[in-house]
């Protein structure tokens, strides 16, 4: 009987811990402004993973004199290595995938797609305070990368 009571209490404690961890991980949810305010993105959660999509661009259309004749048209993913995806619009694109909250204001094991270059990088994020999110994209190991800071 004592063993059953112990297991029930342990289960309740662990479920409370995982709920608190999930709540802490959810601190990044919401709308962020990227570096130089080039775009607005939304970080959202599905099941236990975190993702982001582009909500708006500071310059949503291709500029006058565009080398590919797209002047004035909405920006698309023309740098994508997959020809089938080159026509998709940048606005609305999900470009960050699969982040897991690892504790201590860190999200790891995700990827970030750069629509300007058409490349996908490994990525991690660190919430330095409630208004600043450090986003680090890298190749291979984290030391070979670049960090940008987003603001709420």
User: What pLDDT is attached to residue 108?
Assistant: 98
- Alpha-helix runs per DSSP H in the chain: 2-25
Q: Contact 108/102 with Cβ under 8 angstroms?
A: yes
List pLDDT tens digits, range 82-135.
Answer: 999 999 999 999 999 999 999 999 999 999 999 999 999 999 999 999 899 999
Q: Contact 28/44 with Cβ under 8 angstroms?
A: no
State phi, psi for 140 to the nearest 5 degrees: 75, -90
| Cα R_g (the chain), whole angstroms | 20
* Domains with residue ranges and CATH for the chain: 2-151 (2.40.128.520)
CB atoms within 10 A of CB 88: 14
CA distance 129 to 27: 10
């Amino acid at each position: 009987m004592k063993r059953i009571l112990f297991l029930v209490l342990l289960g309740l404690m662990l479920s409370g811990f995982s709920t608190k961890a999930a709540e802490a991980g959810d601190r990044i949810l919401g709308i962020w402004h990227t570096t130089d305010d080039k775009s607005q993105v939304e970080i959202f959660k599905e099941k236990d993973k975190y993702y982001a999509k582009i909500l708006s661009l500071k310059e949503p259309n291709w500029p006058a004199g565009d080398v590919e004749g797209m002047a004035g048209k909405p920006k698309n993913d023309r740098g994508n290595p997959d020809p089938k995806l080159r026509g998709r619009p940048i606005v609305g694109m999900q470009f960050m995938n699969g982040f897991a909250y690892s504790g201590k204001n860190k999200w790891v094991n995700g990827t970030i797609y750069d629509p300007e270059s058409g490349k996908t990088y490994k990525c991690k994020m660190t919430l330095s305070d409630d208004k600043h999110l450090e986003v680090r994209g890298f190749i291979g190991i984290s030391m070979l990368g670049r960090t940008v800071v987003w603001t709420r």
